[in-house]
Amino acid sequence: MKHLRAMFLAPSVFFTVVLFLIPLTIIVSYSLRTRGVYGGVVDPWTIENYARLFDPLYGMIMVRSVLMSLAATALCLLAGFPTALFIVRNEKHKSLLLNLIMLPFWTSFLVRTYAWMFLLRDTGLINSALMAMGIIKEPLPLLYNETAVIVGLVYGYLPFAVLPIFSNLERLDKALLEAAADLGAKPWEAMFHVVLPLCAPGLRAAGVLVFIPCLGAYLTPDLLGGGKSIMIGNLIQNQFTTARDWPFGSAISLALMAGVMALLIVLIRRDGEEAL
């Protein structure tokens, strides 16, 4: 019996240790050492990399990343809620629609981001079409600004918003809506006073699932933002590439991880673990 338990536990222990704990330990040890001449880390041990985090320059980048991620998250929820509601109510095609939501994951995120570049460019599909229709004379500057980054983030992470809201809505007891109607609530009143409050855990879970990857995004700000405004993910990436400062890059990564962890703890306290 004991033997069997160990056997079933082994894979998850293996993955936790090999794919999570060991890399994490390496990053922690990197973050406490000194940068090598050309990448890598050397002795001595130091906490200087953490002290540098308090530099207002990096604080500003952090604040901007949070604001951009919040904007993307809000838009994902605004678009994700009606989408999830539509799928839940569409009994006939529910699984088809859910599969359509997942469809973009069949191609690589990089390729899809490049596709957005082709849409948003001056000579891209949107500008060409608008100019052909005579709506605009000069191409609109759609690419390489913060709006393009937010559009890219919303596009990339919208499925993560739809799915938890969907599962929450599906568990909702329909009798409650009937009760609301019996008590004289109009459909929109029932939506705001019954459905939305009951769906709050789903919305929070969706928010977290979108917000966290947005915060660490580096591909989207790079490709759609044109490298003009960096997010925390780009700052980390730069430390491992052009700046060749692995210890500082590790320290920023861990700080980001700690922030995300704190957010998760707050939410778990609130909704219980099932919310996530």
Partner 1 sequence: MITRRAALSIALVTGCSRSSAKRLNVFNWSAYVAPETVPNFEKQAGAKVRYSIYESNEEMLARVFSGNSGWDVVFPTHYIVPPMREQHLLADLDHTRLPNLKNLDALFKSPVSDPSLSHSMPYMWNATGILYNTNQGPAPTSWADLWAPHWKGHLTMLDDPAEVFAAALRKLGHSLNSRNPVELLAAQKEAIAQKQLLRAYLNTEVRDQAVAGDVLIAQLWSTTAQQAIDAAKHLAFVYPKEGFPLSLDCAVILRESPRQEIAHEFLNYLLEAGVSARIAETMRTATANAAARPLLTQATQSNATLYPSPETLANAEWFATITPDAQRLRDRLWTEIKSA
Of 46, 66, 122, 146, the one binding partner 1 (CB under 8 A) is 122
Q: Does 229 bind partner 1 (CB under 8 A)?
A: yes
* 100 versus 129: smaller Cβ distance to partner 1: 129
CA nearest neighbour of 52 among 267, 248, 272? 248
Shortest Å, Cβ 68 to partner 1: 13
Helix axes 56-89, 94-102, angle to 10 degrees: 160
The radius of gyration of the chain from alpha carbons, rounded to an integer in Å, stands at 23
Cα–Cα distance for residue pair 72/214, rounded to 1 Å = 8
Subset of 20-39 contacting partner 1 (CB under 8 A): 35-39
Q: Does 61 bind partner 1 (CB under 8 A)?
A: yes
Shortest Å, Cβ 152 to partner 1: 14
Q: Does 132 bind partner 1 (CB under 8 A)?
A: no
Q: What angle do CA 56, 75, 88 make, to 5 degrees?
A: 145
Helix (H) or strand (E) holding 206: helix 200-215
Shortest Å, Cβ 67 to partner 1: 13
Of 91, 123, 135, 197, the one binding partner 1 (CB under 8 A) is 123
Among 10-18, 89-97, 103-111, 239-247, the segment contacting partner 1 (CB under 8 A): 239-247
Burial of 135 (C-beta count, 10 Å sphere; 0-12/13-18/19+): exposed
Subset of 241-270 contacting partner 1 (CB under 8 A): 241-245
The tokens for 94 are 């529910």
Subset of 185-224 contacting partner 1 (CB under 8 A): none
Cα–Cα distance for residue pair 77/199, rounded to 1 Å = 12
Number of residues engaging partner 1 in binding (CB under 8 A): 32
* 203 versus 235: smaller Cβ distance to partner 1: 235
Shortest Å, Cβ 99 to partner 1: 33
Burial of 64 (C-beta count, 10 Å sphere; 0-12/13-18/19+): middle
Cα–Cα distance for residue pair 218/76, rounded to 1 Å = 18
Binding stretches for partner 1 (CB under 8 A): 35-40, 57-58, 60-61, 64, 121-123, 141, 143-144, 225-230, 234-235, 238, 240-245
